[in-house]
């Protein structure tokens, strides 16, 4: 279907008059009438009831109007993205826990060194980023390592970091005193909803030891997890990088969980691997990550593989 037919149709529906819509669109009234008749023939339904005062939508016409507006918006976005890619667009997905450890510095460097690249950033929990991967929306993406990576993407292990238990100021947790996973038995937990990989890892660890898994809040908002922990509402488990620049002062305390780690990997869209924007973005991302690890501010993080070695 020609999208212009839907645009013409919606203008007639908005103005309630073929004559006024024709003037607005710069068409003759007979030409616009033919377009509307063609659309009705294609849809095999009467879309307007015509009268001397103008036109009004039928039930079928109202349904088409409601459904076609978001379709046209999506088509406009698709056209914009195609144009951006031709001009050097880079789409990157990074989890919110990496914001202070990597994302902020990476974006600043990219804008400074490559002002001609149009950057589209996605910050979201790992399961949401994986959905974006499967939809082909991302050129580069950092998510937990997966034994069965998404089709069409190259997976490269980057680093491993500990998972930490976060509680309120009086929780007795200390960063230099690791706790066993048994410490989580029966705690009120604030965690992301399934199928988040961190949530799955915690749940499986407790189930293997026949311990009580008790979730009181499910949220994909990292900041809310930390704030609720600081208010004594419960405890949360986050990767260590999430504590960089958390800004909550002494309201939270934390401790690493013995034997529990998260391995992160870089996903690269193989269909976009030869794009200059993607190549430069990849180089800059890995460079920024190597510098972040070298600074020593990332608790317990250690690179895996050779991607960060110079």
* DSSP per position, 102-162: IIHHHHHHHHHH-TTSEEEEEE--HHHHHHHHHTT--SEEEEE--SSPPTTEEEEEEEEEE
Q: Do 276 and 132 belong to one domain? A: yes
Q: Do 183 and 205 belong to one domain? A: yes
pLDDT of amino acid 210: 92
At 9, which CATH number? 1.10.10.10
Counting every residue written for the chain, the total comes to 310
Q: Is residue 310 part of a domain?
A: no
pLDDT tens for residues 217-258?
999 899 999 999 999 999 999 999 999 988 899 999 999 999
Which of the two residues, 26 and 307, has the higher pLDDT score? 26
At 225, which CATH number? 3.40.190.290
Percent of the chain at pLDDT exceeding 70? 95
Task: Determine the structural domain holding residue 117 and report its residue range.
Answer: 86-156+263-303
Q: Do 111 and 173 belong to one domain? A: no
The yes-or-no verdict on residue 83 having pLDDT over 70 is no
Q: Is the dihedral of CA 267, 270, 272, 274 positive or negative?
A: positive
The yes-or-no verdict on residue 77 having pLDDT over 80 is no
Give the C-alpha separation, 277 to 85, whole Å: 9
Q: Is residue 203 part of a domain?
A: yes
Segment 186-194 shows an average pLDDT of 92
The yes-or-no verdict on residue 192 having pLDDT over 80 is yes
Token pair in block for residue 227? 């704030």
Q: Do 189 and 256 belong to one domain? A: yes
State the pTM of this model: 0.69
Q: What is the mean pLDDT of the chain?
A: 90
The yes-or-no verdict on residue 52 having pLDDT over 70 is yes
Q: Give the residue from 84, 109, 128 where a domain finishes.
A: 84
The yes-or-no verdict on residue 145 having pLDDT over 70 is yes
Q: Do 119 and 55 belong to one domain? A: no
Q: Is residue 309 part of a domain?
A: no
Q: Do 140 and 25 belong to one domain? A: no
Q: Do 187 and 214 belong to one domain? A: yes
- R_g of the chain, CA atoms, integer Å: 26
Q: Give the residue from 84, 116, 140 where a domain finishes.
A: 84
Q: Is residue 177 part of a domain?
A: yes
Give Cα separations from 298 to 100, 161, 293 (angstroms).
Answer: 10, 9, 6
Q: Please tell me whether residue 165 adopts helix, strand or coil conformation.
A: strand
Number of domains in the chain: 3
At 117, which CATH number? 3.40.190.10
Q: Is residue 271 part of a domain?
A: yes
Phi, psi of 90 (to 5 degrees): -130, 125
| Long-range pairs for 23-32: beta carbons < 8 A, 24 or more residues apart | 32/8
The yes-or-no verdict on residue 259 having pLDDT over 70 is yes
Q: Is residue 206 part of a domain?
A: yes
Percent of the chain at pLDDT exceeding 90? 64
Q: Do 171 and 229 belong to one domain? A: yes
Token pair in block for residue 61? 């016409």
197 and 231 Cβ atoms separated by less than 8 Å? no
Q: Do 252 and 269 belong to one domain? A: no
Q: Do 151 and 289 belong to one domain? A: yes
Segment 130-147 shows an average pLDDT of 91
Segment 278-304 shows an average pLDDT of 93
The yes-or-no verdict on residue 84 having pLDDT over 70 is no
Give the C-alpha separation, 283 to 280, whole Å: 5
The yes-or-no verdict on residue 310 having pLDDT over 70 is no
Q: Do 245 and 267 belong to one domain? A: no
pLDDT of amino acid 4: 85
The yes-or-no verdict on residue 177 having pLDDT over 70 is yes
Q: Is residue 19 part of a domain?
A: yes
The yes-or-no verdict on residue 85 having pLDDT over 60 is no
Q: Is residue 184 part of a domain?
A: yes
Q: Is the dihedral of CA 288, 292, 298, 301 positive or negative?
A: positive
Q: Do 247 and 275 belong to one domain? A: no
The yes-or-no verdict on residue 80 having pLDDT over 80 is no
Give the C-alpha separation, 239 to 158, whole Å: 14
């Amino acid at each position: 279907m020609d999208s212009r037919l839907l645009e013409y149709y919606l203008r007639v529906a908005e103005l309630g008059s073929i004559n006024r819509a024709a003037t607005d669109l710069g068409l003759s009234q007979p030409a616009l009438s033919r377009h509307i008749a063609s659309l009705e023939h294609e849809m095999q339904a009467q879309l307007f009831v015509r009268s001397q005062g103008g036109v009004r939508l039928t039930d079928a016409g109202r349904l088409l109007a409601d459904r076609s507006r978001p379709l046209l918006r999506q088509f406009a976005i698709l056209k914009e993205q195609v144009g951006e890619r031709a001009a050097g667009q880079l789409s990157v997905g990074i989890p919110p826990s990496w914001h202070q450890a990597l994302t902020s510095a990476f974006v600043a460097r990219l804008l400074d060194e490559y002002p001609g690249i149009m950057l589209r950033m996605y910050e979201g929990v790992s399961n949401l980023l994986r959905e974006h991967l499967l939809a082909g929306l991302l050129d580069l993406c950092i998510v937990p390592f997966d034994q069965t990576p998404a089709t069409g993407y190259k997976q490269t292990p980057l680093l491993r970091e500990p998972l930490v238990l976060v509680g309120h100021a009086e929780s007795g947790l200390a960063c230099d005193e690791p706790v066993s996973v048994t410490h989580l038995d029966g705690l009120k937990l604030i965690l992301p909803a399934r199928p988040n990989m961190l949530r799955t890892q915690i749940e499986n660890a407790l189930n293997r030891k026949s311990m009580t898994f008790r979730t009181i809040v499910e949220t994909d908002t990292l900041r809310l997890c930390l704030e609720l922990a600081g208010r004594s509402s419960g405890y949360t488990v986050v990767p260590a990088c999430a504590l960089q620049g958390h800004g909550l002062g002494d309201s939270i305390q934390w401790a690493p969980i013995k034997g529990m780690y998260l391995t992160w990997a870089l996903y690269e869209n193989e269909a976009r691997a030869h794009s200059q924007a993607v190549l430069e973005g990849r180089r800059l991302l890995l460079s920024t990550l190597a510098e972040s690890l070298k600074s020593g501010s990332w608790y317990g993080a250690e690179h895996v593989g050779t991607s960060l070695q110079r």
